């Protein structure tokens, strides 16, 4: 375990010392959480620090499934297989890119101000993040760095999922990962302090690094100007990134944010389970608190997996509320190669139903009522499965879901259903409103103001977690509060 991102960065830098001292090395952090780690790496290696701002290009009305990514300077990478599977037109792709390009440029200006980006052409670029669950953003960042002319790309992280790390070896010339635990549940589980990094903290870290290198090259003011009075450069940098009190417990809540609070406990997961789906066994992770009041099965959307940081953050909140949680993959790696499978709602619903039957006989949750939490296309699979005769599902919660894809099965759903949608996710919001009108069960539509499809905005996912927790605890057995 790492104390915080600065501790992780210092330890990561020790593994990267072979890149120190040369003018050809640049360290770039993925904002926001990767920048405090990268700042320590850059300090130890005496290398320039910058951010590498990338934006995923998401399939319209299914943004979790990326068809490519963009970076600064007009860099664009596209996955032709996803484009074909989603039947995207050039006009649809252009609209998505235009919107994401505007957001990318806004973030780059916010982080750097008037400073130009550090040149990457012909240099060794060390891409740093605070951890890797699925690797999608890191892969895009490596491609963008190479497109900007990097002669060598090194991907460096303190902790990552073994399968994700292995898959990234083709995206970078070198991959450095200090910890690759088989039982990784969330990046935050491996940090004592995993408080969210703010934009302001990123801005300050970059400002200090730029000032330090300007002085070293003779372009700055008197030595020490970049350091706040009363502390060393390292201490000031730690302060800028918002160091928290020793002893705070970090929850495994996601790649960029975690729920926090003294005394919170990391879920004591079993060894990875192999969920029995009849024709195949699917890897999953199960957490069972003491005196669990019910079980929530997570059903991820297209382009995601059991490592989804957003689902893990919600799962942690439910676990702390006294509910058992299961996250599992709906498809095998070979099946995921056929992109049509991720939109095959009957297939996914059938898998979910069989896994639910297996779970009900599993030691530790036997006899508990079952509920579903679905995201994106996973919400359609959850509702489809809940509509099956004899399914006996107590409740369903949909996060940014596509309940419309369960179309003809919606009137047969008997589980109390909560639809949660971002207020700025206009197309999906209308689809959810139309779907709710077809439901005959108890239902509610909750809108998170200002949130987009992925609930990336500060506080948005916490609101989702609260809505889901309250819905599940109201429709499962009463939960004894900790």
On the question of pLDDT at 159 being above 80, the answer is: yes
Round to whole Å and give the CA distance between 386 and 444: 16
Tell me, what's the pLDDT at 409?
A: 93
What SS3 state is found at 366?
Answer: coil
233 vs 38, higher pLDDT: 38
On the question of pLDDT at 331 being above 80, the answer is: yes
DSSP line for 19-32:
GTT-TTEEEEE-TT
Q: What is the mean pLDDT of the chain?
A: 83
Overall CATH class of domain 5-240:
alpha beta
Q: Which residues contact 398 (CB under 8 A, 6 or more apart)?
A: 374, 375, 379, 382, 383, 417, 418, 419, 420, 432
Instruction: Give the residue carrying structure tokens 């549940």.
Output: 185
On the question of a common fold for 5-240 and 273-475, the answer reads yes
Tell me, what's the pLDDT at 477?
A: 66
DSSP line for 203-261:
HHHHHHHHHHHHHHTT-SSSTTTTS-TTS-HHHHHHHHTT---TTPPBP---SS---B-
User: Which residues sit opposite 23 in a β-bridge?
Assistant: none
Average pLDDT over residues 79-101: 87
On the question of pLDDT at 122 being above 70, the answer is: yes
Q: Are 387 and 410 in contact (CB under 8 A)?
A: yes
Tell me, what's the pLDDT at 245?
A: 28
Round to whole Å and give the CA distance between 117 and 177: 26
**Residues of the chain above pLDDT 90, percent:** 46
Round to whole Å and give the CA distance between 193 and 130: 12
Topology of the domain comprising 273-475 = Rossmann fold (3.40.50)
pTM of the model: 0.59
Q: Are 150 and 171 in contact (CB under 8 A)?
A: no
| Domain boundaries, given as residue ranges, for the chain | 5-240, 273-475
Q: How far is CA 400 from CA 222, 310, 311, in A?
A: 52, 11, 12
- Measured in residues, the chain has a length of 482
| b/e code 222-251 from CB counts within 10 Å (16+ = b) | eeeebbeeeeebeebbbebbbbeeeebbbb
Tell me, what's the pLDDT at 216?
A: 52
pLDDT tens readout for residues 367-395: 999 999 999 889 999 999 999 999 999 99
pLDDT band at 153 (very low <50, low <70, confident <90, very high): very high
The H-or-E segment that residue 395 falls in is strand 393-399
pLDDT tens readout for residues 426-471: 889 999 999 999 999 999 999 999 998 888 888 899 999 999 999 9
On the question of pLDDT at 49 being above 70, the answer is: yes
pLDDT tens readout for residues 268-297: 445 478 999 988 999 898 999 888 999 999
User: Which residues sit opposite 446 in a β-bridge?
Assistant: 420
């Amino acid at each position: 375990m790492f104390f915080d991102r600065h501790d992780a960065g210092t330890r990561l830098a020790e593994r990267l010392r072979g890149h120190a001292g040369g003018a050809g090395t640049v360290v770039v952090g993925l904002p926001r959480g990767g920048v405090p780690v990268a700042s320590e790496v850059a300090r130890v290696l005496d290398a320039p620090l910058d951010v590498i701002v990338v934006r995923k290009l998401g399939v319209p009305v299914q943004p979790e499934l990326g068809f490519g990514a963009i970076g600064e300077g007009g860099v664009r990478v596209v996955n032709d297989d996803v484009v074909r599977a989603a039947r995207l037109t050039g006009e649809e792709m252009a609209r998505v890119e235009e919107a994401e390009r505007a957001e990318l440029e806004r973030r780059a200006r916010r982080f750097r101000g008037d400073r130009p980006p550090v040149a990457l052409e012909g240099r060794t670029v060390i891409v740093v993040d605070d951890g890797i669950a699925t690797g999608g953003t890191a892969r895009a960042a490596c491609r963008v760095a190479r497109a900007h002319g990097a002669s060598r790309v090194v991907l460096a992280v303190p902790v990552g999922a073994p399968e994700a790390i292995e898959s990234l070896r083709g995206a970078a010339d070198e991959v450095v990962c200090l910890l690759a635990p088989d039982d990784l549940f969330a990046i935050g589980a491996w940090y004592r302090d995993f408080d969210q990094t703010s934009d302001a903290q990123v801005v300050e870290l970059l400002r200090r690094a730029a000032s330090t290198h300007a002085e070293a090259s003779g372009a700055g003011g008197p030595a020490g100007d970049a350091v706040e009075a009363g502390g060393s450069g390292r201490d000031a940098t730690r302060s800028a990134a918002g160091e928290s009190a020793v002893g705070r417990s970090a929850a495994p809540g996601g790649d960029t944010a975690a729920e926090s609070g003294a005394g919170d406990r990391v879920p004591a997961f079993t060894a990875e389970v192999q969920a029995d789906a009849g024709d195949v066994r699917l890897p999953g992770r199960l957490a069972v608190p003491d005196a669990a009041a019910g079980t929530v099965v997570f059903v991820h959307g297209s382009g995601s997996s059991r490592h989804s940081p957003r689902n893990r953050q919600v799962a942690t909140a439910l676990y702390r509320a006294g509910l058992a949680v299961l996250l599992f993959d709906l498809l095998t790696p070979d099946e995921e190669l056929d992109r049509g499978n991720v939109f095959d709602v009957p297939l996914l619903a059938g898998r979910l139903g069989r896994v639910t039957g297996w779970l009900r006989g599993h030691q530790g949750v036997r006899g508990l009522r079952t509920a579903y939490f679905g995201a994106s296309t996973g919400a359609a699979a959850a509702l489809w499965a809940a509509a099956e005769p004899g399914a006996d599902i107590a409740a369903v919660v949909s996060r940014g879901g596509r309940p419309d894809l369960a179309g003809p099965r919606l009137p047969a759903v008997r589980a109390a259903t909560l639809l949660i949608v971002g207020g700025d996710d206009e197309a999906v919001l209308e689809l959810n409103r139309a779907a709710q009108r077809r439901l005959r069960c108890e239902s509610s539509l909750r809108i998170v103001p200002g949130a987009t499809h992925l609930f990336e905005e500060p506080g948005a996912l916490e609101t989702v977690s609260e809505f889901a927790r309250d819905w599940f605890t109201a429709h499962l057995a009463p939960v004894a509060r900790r």
